[in-house]
Structure 1
């Protein structure tokens, strides 16, 4: 617990301004230390349709794993829909597996979707199941 607080403080110093996502109950015991969404300086995060968005994250791994899968979804009218264009195989291009402190980032183009507000939920699965998750609100703007 102390170690995670130390990393959160360190990340806040390294990544100002840092958008910290919220933890949500997804059945795991591990929480993300920090998530940064660029460009995002407000809450909810305002993302321009058609623009590119960079997601950076840090968390402490709760297991040694050779695989890590990213599942990202947007809640639209209460239905969780997979976000297209997100690399799902984290170990292949985004993070180093296995690892104790996991850092990674990826870039995604914001699609021109008909909705404007949503909650994005991201889960990471490893060899032994769910390892971590986070969520954040977004507003899609023109």
Structure 2
């Protein structure tokens, strides 16, 4: 029984080290889209999160939908002077359960590989969930990260 308790404690400690719920130190809503409740990033042990190029990153965003939407895409950019496109891909199916309903809580579970072309240093990234052929912006989040 003691071994089981120690194992549970160890798993809890490891999950705290590698998963971090972002705060206003590194995350802000953008474009007047402030319906994101929380953002968690793995791996991340402190803000801003530091990522090595060509490694996998998982992002979980909990949000409330303000309108109905059938199809959504996730658009990511990094600020390198101008906004540099990192990725744009379908969010559902795969990362999000669609269709979205008004005033419903949703979770985006996204995994990606850090672009090897991104220069090292602290960067502002912009994450937008855009639905119905661009007619609806469901959320927009600016997240500070460090590329190593």
For normalisation by structure 2, the TM-score amounts to: 0.73
Partner of 2:36: 32
Q: Secondary structure of 2:92's match?
A: helix
Aligned to 1:12: none
Structure 2 residue aligned with 1:92:
93
SS of alignment partner, residue 83 of structure 1:
strand
Where in structure 2 are the equivalents of 1:32-111 lying within 5 Å? Answer: 32-76=36-80, 78-84=81-87, 88-99=89-100, 100-111=104-115
Point out the structure with the larger strand share: 2
Do the aligned partners of 2:76 and 2:126 also contact (CA within 8 Å) in 1?
Answer: yes
User: Where do 4+ consecutive residues of structure 1 move more than 6 Å?
Assistant: none
Offset of residue 122 of structure 1:
0.7
Does 1:23 find its partner at 2:28? yes
| Equivalences, count | 123
Q: CA deviation at 1:114?
A: 2.9
Normalized against structure 1, the TM-score is what? Answer: 0.76
| Residue 27 to residue 18, structure 1, CA distance change in 2 (3 Å) | closer
Gaps of 5+ in 2: 1-14
Instruction: Report matched runs for 1:112-123 at 5 Å.
Output: 112=116, 113-123=118-128
Q: CA RMSD in A?
A: 2.0
Take 1:31 and 1:60, find their aligned partners in 2: how far apart are those partners? 6
Q: Which has the larger radius of gyration?
A: 2
Say if 1:23 and 1:32, in contact at 8 Å, map to a contact too.
no
- In structure 1, runs of 5+ residues without a counterpart are 1-14
1: CA distance, partners of 2:93 / 2:71: 9
